[in-house]
Amino acid sequence: MADHGQKNRPDPDKLLELAARETRGKLTVFLGAAPGVGKTYAMLLRARRLKEDGDDIVIGLAETHGRAETAELLEGLEVMPRRQVTYRDRSLEEFDLDAAITRKPKILVVDELAHTNVPGSRHPKRYQDIEELLWQGIDVWTAMNVQHLESLNDLVTSITGVTVREIVPDTVLKRADEVLLVDLPPAELIERLKEGKVYLPGNAERAAEGFFKPANLTALRELALRRTADRVDDQMIDLLRQNAIEGPWATGERLLVCVGPDSLSDKVVRTASRLASGLNARWLVVSLTQTNDAGAETSRRIDELLDLAERLGAETRRVIAQDFVEEIFRIARRENVTQIVVGRPKSRRFANPFRRSLPDEIIKRFTDIGVHIVTGEEQGTPYVPPKMRKRSRRELAVAIAIPAVTTGVTTLLGLGASNIVHPQNLSMLFLVAVILSAMISGRLSAVIAAGLSFFLYNFFFLEPLHDLSIAKPHQLFSLIIFLAVALMIGDLAGRLRDQVDRSRNQAKNTQALYEFSRKLSGTARLDDVLVSTATHLHSTFGTGVAILLPNDEDLAIQAVWPPDMTLDGTDMTAVRWAYEKNERAGHDTATLPLIDWQFLPILTSHGVAGVVGLSLQRHPPLTENEDRMLTAILDQTAIAIDRAQLVRENAKTTALQESEKLHTALFSSLSHDLKTPLASITGAVTTLRQLGSRIKADTRDDLLLSIEEEAARLTRFVANLFDMTRIEAGTLKVKNVPVDAADVIASSIERMKKLKPEIAIEISIAPDLPTVSGDPSMLGQVLFNLLDNAAKYAGDGPIAIYARQDESEVAISVTDQGKGIPPKDLDKIFDKFYRRAKGDGRAPGTGLGLSIARGFVESMGGTIKAESPAIRKRGTRFIVRLPATPDDEAKSA
C-alpha cells in the first residue's frame, strides 16, 4: 500500500506551478489562423454576455479595423480611453497600461497581443504589458494569429512568402490558462475578404493576391489546429500530474539541440521547438565553443540564439570544449537525452572529402539515441569572423598604413643590400615585414603586407626588374611559395597578437576584480561597501552609477557617483520593476528601453538585496566582456552586502544579548534587594504584632532598629533606580554652584556613620582647599556611594578619604584596604549592574552605586577613575576630580 501511495503522489513541481498561478491573473488567448476569422468579434461577444451577468469586465483596447458588426459589440461596454503618444511629429493612440492598473477590473480585454508599442513606452511589446497586468492579479483576454508565434516564424515565411515582423514568444501561449480557437474555413474567409469584411477594398485586393490564398490559409489553419491541440494536451497532462492520476502521457522524452554562431542555427532552434511541442518533451539548447573569449560578434550571435531558445521554452547552456562530440556524448548521458537535433549546412563545392562533419560524427557515435539533422543553406548574411567585420575608418587607415610602411622600408633595405645579398635571400626581409605588420595591427595588415610584398619583391628583385612579368619558371614557383608562406605566417602572427590582446584584457579585468574583491573584503560597513561599488563601477565603465536599497516601503538611493546624478519618476519605475521582477529594466531592455539608465538587481543568497543603475545614455552598448565584468562585480557586491548585513545583524544580536543580561541582572537585583528588606520588615512587624507586650524591651528595640535599617536600605535602592533612570533619560538638573568640598565630605561621613557606626574612616583635607563647581547633593551622593562601596570591601583596615587641589581641579580620593580589583575588571566596575565578589556576607547590592557616581560626576563636568592596587599591593582607590571654582565666583558666593 505504501508503494502504491508513493507511486500516485502528485507532481510537486506541478503543484507549485498551480500555487504560483493562484496569485496571478488568468490569461485567455483567442487564437486564429489568419486575420479576419473573427477573433475580436468572438472576444467582444463573450464579453457582452459576461457584462449582462454582472461581471466587472472592461475593454482596455479593441481593434475593429473598420468592421461595423465588430464595432457594434462595443456599445454598452466600458471602454477605456487610449493614451495619446507623439512620435516623429505624429499623434498615435496606444493602450493605457497605467490607467488599466489603476482601474483594476476583474477582466480586461486587450486586443492584438503581438502589437509593437511606440518607442518610449514602458515595454516594447504588448505581451509584456499583459504580463504586468497578470502580475497585478487582473484576468486578461487577448487575441493573436498563429503566424505571430516565434517558433513558426520561419515556417510561415516559407509557406506564405511573407515575413512576419511582429512575433510573440511561444512561452506566452504556453503559460496561457485558456486557449480558444477561432476557426473559419479558407473559402468562407476569402469570401469575407471579397466582401470587404477583413480589409478595406484596396488592401483586400493586395491581400487576395498574396497572403490570402487557399493553400496558405489551409496550411495556417492546420498550424492553428495543431498548436491548439498541443495546448489542450499540455493542460490535460498538468491536470493529471497535479491530481496524481496515472494517464497515458509521454514519458521521458528529452531533446538536446546543438547550435553555433552560424545563421542556420536559427532554423535548428525553431525546428527543435516544433519537434519538442509535438512530442511534449523538454529540450536543452547547448552552444558549443572552443574558447571562453570567441570574440564580440560570435558572443552576440550566441546570445541571440540562446535568447530565442528561452523565448521558445527551452533550457539553455554554454559549453566550452575542445572535443565537441565527446562533450555532447557526456551531456546526453548526464541529462538522459533521447533525441539530438543538429544542423548541417549545404555541402560546399570544395569541401574536404576526408573531414567528417559534426552531424556525421554524432550519428557514428550515438547508436541508441535518435538524431535529427536540420539541413539547408545559411540564412541571410553568412557568418563572418569577428575581426573581419566592421572596422572604423581609423582602424582601416592604420591597417593599410602599417603594411605600406613596413614593406616600403623593407624594399629600401633590400635595394641597399642587393649588391651583397642574393635576391632570393631578400625574400626573408619581406617575411619580417609581414610578421611586424601582423604584430602591430593584426591579420588584415598581415594579408595586405603579404600582397604588397608579393608585388614589390617581384617588381624590384626578380628579373626582369621593374616589371611584374617573370622570366624564369622556377621563380614563379618560388614567388607562389613565398606568398603562401607569407599569408600563413601573417595569419599566425595576427592570431597570436589577438590572443595576446585578449589575454592582456582578461588579466587586466582579473586584476581589477581582485583589487575590488580585496577592497570589499576589508569593508564591514554597508555604506562603505556601496560607496566602493559605485566608485569602482564608475571607474570601470565610465558611466554614472546609482545603488538603491529597500527603505521602509520603497527603494531609496544609498550611493551615487558622480554625486550630482539624480533619478526621475520614470527611472524609479524601472528601478521597482528590476527589484520586484528580478530582471534588467531600463535602457536597451524589454522594460522602458528608451530611458538613460539601465537597472540590474543585486542577487544575494536571501533574494534581491537592491538595484544597481548605470547611466548608458552616452555610453555604447556593453560588450560581452563588459557584461561579464559587470556580473562579476555585482556578485562580489552581493557577497559584501550579505556580509555587511550579517555584521549588522550580529551587532543587533549582541546588543540584544547584552540587554538581556542587563534585564536578568536587574530582575536578580529586584529579587534580592526588594524581597530581602521586605522580608526582614515583614518578619519584625509580624513578631511585634503577635507577641505585643510579651516582648522584652531590648528585643523590641532590636526589632524596631531592624525595621528602620531595612527600610533605609530599601529607600536607598529605590533612590538608586530613580537616579539611574534620570541619568539615562538625560533629565538630570545640575545646579553648578560653588561647593565647599570639606563640608560635603563631613556630611557624607556622618551619614555613613549612622548606617555603619563600626566603620573606621581616616580624613585628610588640604588647608585652603578651594570650592568646586558642582551640585552639593550630587557630590554628597557620589561620596556616600564610594564610602558604601569601600565599606563592603575594606576588610579590617580603615577607609581613607583625602582631598587636595591639583592645579585647576580638586581631587577627592576614597581608598579601602581590601583585596583590590583585578586589572581586567577596572574598566567594568562603572558599568550598570556589575558586581564584584561578596563583601559583607550578603549580596553586594544592585551594581548601580558606582555607575550612578560616574553619571553624577560627569554631569558636573568632572571625572572619576579607579586604581588598584592602592596600598602595598592591596586595596582600591577611587579618585574624583572636579573643576575648582574661579576666585571671583567663590568671593561672590
As a three-state string, the secondary structure of 681-720 is: HHHHHHHHHHHHHHCCHHHHHHHHHHHHHHHHHHHHHHHH
Tell me what pLDDT residue 395 has.
Answer: 65
Tell me what pLDDT residue 439 has.
Answer: 72
Confidence category of residue 657, pLDDT binned at 50, 70, 90 = confident
Give the pLDDT confidence of 109-141 residue by residue, as tens digits: 999 898 988 887 888 889 989 988 998 889 999
Please give the average per-residue pLDDT across 818-829, as a whole number. Answer: 76
Q: 371 has which bridge partners?
A: 340
Q: Is 432 exposed, middle or buried (0-12, 13-18, 19+ CB in 10 A)?
A: middle
* CA–CA distances in Å: residue 379 to residues 154, 263, 342: 10, 6, 16
Helices 697-729 + 849-859 axis angle, to 10: 50
Q: Is the pLDDT of residue 832 over 70?
A: no
CA 837 to chain centre: 54
Phi/psi of residue 640, nearest 5 degrees: -65, -40
Confidence category of residue 889, pLDDT binned at 50, 70, 90 = low
* C-alpha–C-alpha distance, residues 677 and 717, integer Å: 10
Tell me what pLDDT residue 59 has.
Answer: 92
- Residue carrying the nine cell digits 548526464: 334
* C-alpha–C-alpha distance, residues 473 and 807, integer Å: 113
Q: Is the pLDDT of residue 247 over 70?
A: no
Coil/strand/helix, residue 663:
helix
Tell me what pLDDT residue 843 has.
Answer: 45
Confidence category of residue 756, pLDDT binned at 50, 70, 90 = confident
Please tell me what DSSP assigns to residue 115: P
* CA–CA distances in Å: residue 649 to residues 558, 604, 640, 642, 644: 19, 16, 14, 10, 9
Q: Is the pLDDT of residue 427 over 80?
A: no
Query: Which three cell numbers, joined as nine digits, stand for 696?
Result: 522584652
Query: Which three cell numbers, joined as nine digits, stand for 612?
Result: 544597481
CA-based nearest residue to 762, from 801, 795, 796, 792: 801
Q: Is the pLDDT of residue 892 over 70?
A: no
Tell me what pLDDT residue 1 has.
Answer: 40
Give the pLDDT confidence of 580-627 residue by residue, as tens digits: 888 888 887 878 888 888 898 888 777 788 888 888 877 777 776 777
Tell me what pLDDT residue 57 has.
Answer: 92
Q: Cβ(399)–Cβ(388) under 8 Å? A: no
Q: Is the pLDDT of residue 382 over 50?
A: no
Please tell me what DSSP assigns to residue 245: -
Tell me what pLDDT residue 166 has.
Answer: 86
Q: Is the pLDDT of residue 744 over 90?
A: no
**Strands 597-604 vs 607-615: parallel, antiparallel or unpaired:** antiparallel
Mean residue pLDDT of the chain comes to 76
Q: Please, what sign has the CA dihedral across residues 469, 472, 477, 479?
A: negative
CA-based nearest residue to 537, from 616, 609, 605: 616
* C-alpha–C-alpha distance, residues 285 and 317, integer Å: 6
* C-alpha–C-alpha distance, residues 471 and 744, integer Å: 127
**Strands 282-289 vs 315-320: parallel, antiparallel or unpaired:** parallel
Please give the average per-residue pLDDT across 350-354, as a whole number. Answer: 46
Q: Is the pLDDT of residue 24 over 50?
A: yes
Q: 416 has which bridge partners?
A: none
Per-residue burial over 527-563, b = 16 or more CB atoms within 10 Å of its CB, e = otherwise: ebbbbbbbebbbebbebbbbbbbeeeeebebbbbbee
CA-based nearest residue to 748, from 781, 708, 789: 781
Ordered DSSP codes for 305-355 = HHHHHHHTT-EEEEEE-S-HHHHHHHHHHHTT--EEEEEEEPPPTT--TTS
Tell me what pLDDT residue 732 has.
Answer: 60
Range from 103-117, 371-385, 798-812 carrying the lowest mean pLDDT: 371-385
CA-based nearest residue to 876, from 809, 761, 785, 789: 789
Tell me what pLDDT residue 381 has.
Answer: 39
Q: Is 425 exposed, middle or buried (0-12, 13-18, 19+ CB in 10 A)?
A: exposed
Tell me what pLDDT residue 215 has.
Answer: 72
**Strands 737-739 vs 282-289: parallel, antiparallel or unpaired:** unpaired
Confidence category of residue 840, pLDDT binned at 50, 70, 90 = very low
Q: Is the pLDDT of residue 699 over 90?
A: no
Tell me what pLDDT residue 6 has.
Answer: 44
Tell me what pLDDT residue 377 has.
Answer: 65
* C-alpha–C-alpha distance, residues 339 and 627, integer Å: 34
Strands of 107-110's sheet, edge to edge?
78-79, 57-61, 107-110, 139-145, 27-32, 178-182
Range from 43-47, 590-594, 692-696 carrying the lowest mean pLDDT: 692-696
* C-alpha–C-alpha distance, residues 830 and 820, integer Å: 15
* CA–CA distances in Å: residue 560 to residues 412, 517, 546: 59, 20, 4
> Mind listing the domains of the chain with CATH numbers?
12-242 (3.40.50.300), 254-348+355-386 (3.40.50.620), 394-500 (no CATH), 522-622 (3.30.450.40), 732-892 (3.30.565.10)
Q: Is 309 exposed, middle or buried (0-12, 13-18, 19+ CB in 10 A)?
A: buried
Q: Is the pLDDT of residue 759 over 50?
A: yes
Q: Is the pLDDT of residue 757 over 60?
A: yes
Tell me what pLDDT residue 105 has.
Answer: 92
Confidence category of residue 350, pLDDT binned at 50, 70, 90 = very low
Tell me what pLDDT residue 389 has.
Answer: 43
